[in-house]
Structure 1
Amino acid sequence: MKKLFMAVMAMAVLLSCTEKKEEATLSGLMKTNFVSEVEGKPTALYVLKNMNGVEACITNYGGRLVSLMVPDRNGKMTDVVLGYDNIAQYVNTDGNYGALIGRYGNRIAQGKFTLDGTEYTLPQNNNGHCLHGGPKGYHTRVWDAKQLNDQALELTYLSPDGEAGFPGNVTIKVVYTLTNDNAIDIAYEATTDKSTVINLTNHSYFNLSGTTASIVDHVISINADTYTPVDDLLIPTGELPSVEGTPMDLRNPIVIGDHINDDFDQLVKGKGYDHNWVLNANGNINTLAAKAVCPKSGISLEVYTNEPGVQFYSGNFMTEDKGKLGATYNHRGALCLETQHYPDTPNQPNFPTTTVNPGETYKSRCIYKLTVEK
C-alpha cells in the first residue's frame, strides 16, 4: 500500500510540473511559440539579460532580434524593436524584422556582378535587382545556435557555394552580446574557400516610443558629410555628393518628419529616407555613426560600427501588419540603421570593396546602444 501511495504521489508531482504554466519573457513572448522545425532544422528563442534587467530575445530562424526591452526616462521597461511572437508568422511573412542579412545586404543592380572574369547571376527580387541576398537570403535560414552565457549568443551558418548564385562556401559566425551598458553588440566573422562578395548587416526595425506610432517625431543624426544618391530604382549612381544644403544633411539632429516629404529628388525616389550615408568615422568603432531619439520616451539609440556606411530607412514601404502581442504596424512605424558597405559595390569600382578571398577573414561589427535622455 505504501509503494502504491508513493507511486501516486510521484505521478501527481509529475503532472503538476507538466501542467505548470509557462512563464513569458519580460517582453511577453512565449518560448514554446518559437519551438519548431524549418527545413529539417530546429528553431528556438534565446533570452539574454544583463545586470540592469535589460532583456533581448533572439531566434535562430534568420538570426532575428525579436524583442529588446530597455527602460524609458521613467524607468518603464519598453520593447523598442518590431517583430512577431511566433515562428510561423516569421516563416510565412516576407519580411526582415530583426534579421541577419546576407550574403549581400542592400541592392545589387540587375542581380548581376562580375568577379575575376566570371559573371554571377542572382535572384531578382526588387524591381529587377537583388535585394538582401534574394528572397531566400540569410533571413530565411535556420542558424546553429549556442548560448555562450546569460549575455551572449553565438550563431553559425555555412552558406554553400552557389547559394542564391553567390560563389564560394562561406562559413559565418555572428555573436550577439547584451552588454552591461545596455548595448546590443553584433560581431560578424566569415571565411570563404573561393573569392566572393560579403556584406552582412542586421535589419532591426526600431520604434523608440515602444508603441506602434509613426517614427516621424523621432530625432535623427548621422555623422556623414557625403552620401550615395540613387536612381529611380534605388541603385547608387556612383557619385558621392556633399550633404551640405540638402535634406540629406543630418550632421546636426533634425526631426525626421521635418523634411521627409520635401520635394527633393532623392527623397521623392526613396519615398522618404532610404539611402546610404558615407560615415566620417573611417572605421573607428568608438566614433558615433548615427543617433536616433524619441522625445516622448526619452529613449536614445546610438550606433557604432567599423563599416564605412549606414543605411537609414524610415519605413517608407511599410504597410499595415499584425505584429507581436496584437500590435499593428503601419506606414513609417519604424526606422532602420543598417551598418554596411555601400549598395551595389560589386558593380561600383570606386566604392570600398566587398570582395573576400580565401585566406582572408571578413569582420564587421555593429553596436546598438540604448540610453535615456532626461
Structure 2
Amino acid sequence: MELRSFVLCNDAGDEVCISNYGARLLQWHTDVFGQDRNIILGYSTLSDYLDDPFYHGAIVGPYANRIGGAAFSIDEQEFALQANEGSNHLHGGDKSISHMCWELVAQEAQVLTLKCELANGHNGYPGAMVFWVTYHLNNDSSLDIDMKVITEQATVVGPTTHPYFNLAGVGESASGHILQIFADNFTEVDDANVPTGEICPVDGTNMDFRQPRVLDPQQPKDNLDHNFVVCRPADESHGVLISPDKQLQLHVSSGYPGLQVYTGKYLGGKFESFGGICLEPQFYPNSPNIDNFPFYLTTPEEPFRMRISYKLVKNQTEVDNPASVESEKAD
C-alpha cells in the first residue's frame, strides 16, 4: 500500500494533515491573529516516518504505554508480548499499528476514517483485531479522534494518539509553555517507568499541576513522562497547554481515566530535546497487571470504543488562576 496523506479543513481556517502510515497526525495549521502556526512536530516527507522511533503523531497500540515484564494474563492464561523496551512492552511493540499503512475507509471535507487489521498473535496479543480511527475536524477548532476495535477473542486493548505539540509553532522554541492538569493523583513508577501500583497525591510534589505552571526544560521537575489520574468527566478538559505568548490554548479530554504527559526529553534527530509536548489520554500504564487500576478487556461481545478530543482556544489568556502563572515565572 502506498504512503498517502489527507487534509481536513474547517470554516475556522484550521487545516489538519493526516497520513495513512500509522494513522498519524502530521500537521495542524491554525490562524492565530493573522499568523499561521503549525502546532504539531513532524517530518518534511512521508518516507521519513518509516524510520521514526519517536511515534510522531501516530495511533499507538494495541495497548499504549508500558506493560511491565512484557506479559499479562487473561483467565489465568499468560500471554508473552514482544519486549521492545528492555524487559517491558511499549506502545504495542515493533511494527504495530503505529508503523503500518492503514486502509482508507471514507473521506469528507472535515472527516477521515482509516482502518487496519492485526493477525492473532501479533507481537503476542491474543485474537485477530480490526482498528478504526475517525478524525473529525469541527468548526470550533476541535479535533475529535474516535477509535473502535473489534476482536475475535478477549484481549488487551487501549490505544491512544501521540502528537508532539508546540503551540508557539514548529521551528520556534517550546520553552515557556504553561501546563495545567486536572488531577489530584498520579501513578508512581519504578526505575523503568512502569507503575508500581501505588496511586500518590500530587499535593506537595513536582507533579502538582492543578494550578497552571510554566514549564522549564532546564529543570528536572519538568522532565515529565508520567501518568496523571484525571478527576474530571469525559466532556471536560483533563489538561490545558498554553502557548508561551498565551494567545493559544490546547484543551484535551477523553473517556480514559489517565493522561500521560511527556515533555519530549528523548526527542532526537531533526528534533531538539524538549521540542514538543505530548498529552496522551490512556488507561494507566501496566493496568492489565494491576488489580486496583481501572481497566476492562475488549471482547467479541464488547468492542472497544473511545473518543479523544483536542480543542484550540484563541485569545483567552486567562486560566483558572493566572496569578499563579506569573508567580511561577518570577521564581
**Pair in the same fold by TM > 0.5:** yes
Q: Distance in 2 between matches of 1:305 and 1:123?
A: 28
Counterpart Cα distance in 2 of 1:233 and 1:191: 31
1:273-317: per-residue Cα shift (whole Å, max 9, x none)? 110000102xx3221100000122622110011110110000111
Contact 1:299 1:371 in 2 (8 A): yes
Q: CA offset at residue 171 of structure 1? A: 1.6
Q: Name the residue aligned to 2:210.
A: 251
- Cα distance in 2 for partners of 1:356, 1:260 equals 40
The residue type paired with residue 256 of structure 2 is: E
| Structure 2 match to 1:67 | 27
* Distance apart, 1:42 and its partner CA: 2.4
Query: 1:159-174 maps to which residues of 2 (within 5 A)?
Result: 159-174=118-133
Tell me how far apart the structure 2 counterparts of residues 200 and 258 of structure 1 sit (CA, whole Å): 28
Structure 2 counterparts to residues 142-221 of structure 1, below 5 A: 142-221=101-180
- Maintained 8 Å contact 1:212/1:330: no
Aligned mates of 2:162, 2:180 — CA distance in 1: 19
Q: How do 1:296-307 residues align onto structure 2 when only pairs under 5 Å count?
A: 296=245, 298-307=247-256
Q: Do the aligned residues in 1 keep the contact of 2:175 with 2:244 (CA within 8 Å)?
A: no
Amino acid at match of 2:29: M
CA deviations over 1:250-292 (Å, ceiling 9, x no partner): 1110001189424xxxx7xxxx1110000102xx322110000
Select which of 86, 91, 94 maps to 1:135.
Answer: 94
| Structure 1 position 362 matched with structure 2 position 304 | yes
- 1:113 deviation in Å? 1.0
How has the CA–CA distance of structure 1 residues 172 and 258 changed in structure 2, closer, same or farther, with 3 Å as cutoff? closer
Matches within 5 A, 1:1-374: 41-72=1-32, 74-257=33-216, 260-262=219-221, 272-281=223-232, 284-296=233-245, 298-319=247-268, 321-322=269-270, 329-373=271-315
Q: Relative to structure 2, which stretch is displaced further, 121-130 or 48-57?
A: 121-130
C-alpha deviation, 1:247, in angstroms: 1.1
Could you say which structure has the higher helix fraction? 1
Q: CA deviation at 1:112?
A: 1.0
**Percent identity over paired residues:** 35
- Give RMSD over aligned pairs: 1.5
Answer yes or no: is the 8 Å Cα contact 1:199–1:354 preserved in 2: no
Deviation digits for residues 39-63 of structure 1 (CA, Å, limit 9, x no counterpart)? xx22211010001221000000000
- Cα pair 1:214 1:334 within 8 Å, conserved: no
Query: Which letter maps to 2:309?
Result: I
Q: State how far apart, in whole Å, the 2-side matches of 1:310 and 1:338 are.
A: 5
CA apart distance, 1:119: 1.1
Q: Which residue of 1 aligns with 2:328?
A: none
Q: Is contact 1:260–1:273 with CA below 8 Å preserved after alignment?
A: no
How far residue 189 of structure 1 moved from its aligned partner, in angstroms, is 1.0
Distance in 1 between residues matched to 2:253 and 2:80, nearest whole Å = 33
Amino acid at match of 1:81: I
Q: 2:257 touches 2:282 (CA, 8 Å); kept in 1? A: yes
Residue by residue, what CA displacement relative to the aligned partner does 1:40-93 show, whole Å, maximum 9, x if unpaired?
Answer: x22211010001221000000000000000122x32111000111222111123
> Structure 1 residues 132, 125: closer, same or farther in 2, change over 3 A?
same
Q: Give a deviation string over 1:117-145, Cα, whole Å, max 9, x none.
A: 21111111112211101121211011111
Pairwise CA distance, 1:190: 1.1
Q: Which consecutive residues of structure 1, in runs of 5 or more, have no partner in the other structure?
A: 1-40, 323-328
Pick closer, same or farther for the CA change 1:193–1:211 going to 2, 3 Å.
Answer: closer
Query: Secondary structure of the residue that 1:241 maps to in structure 2?
Result: strand
Q: 1:67 is aligned with what amino acid?
A: Q
CA–CA distance in structure 1, aligned partners of residues 110 and 217 of structure 2: 38
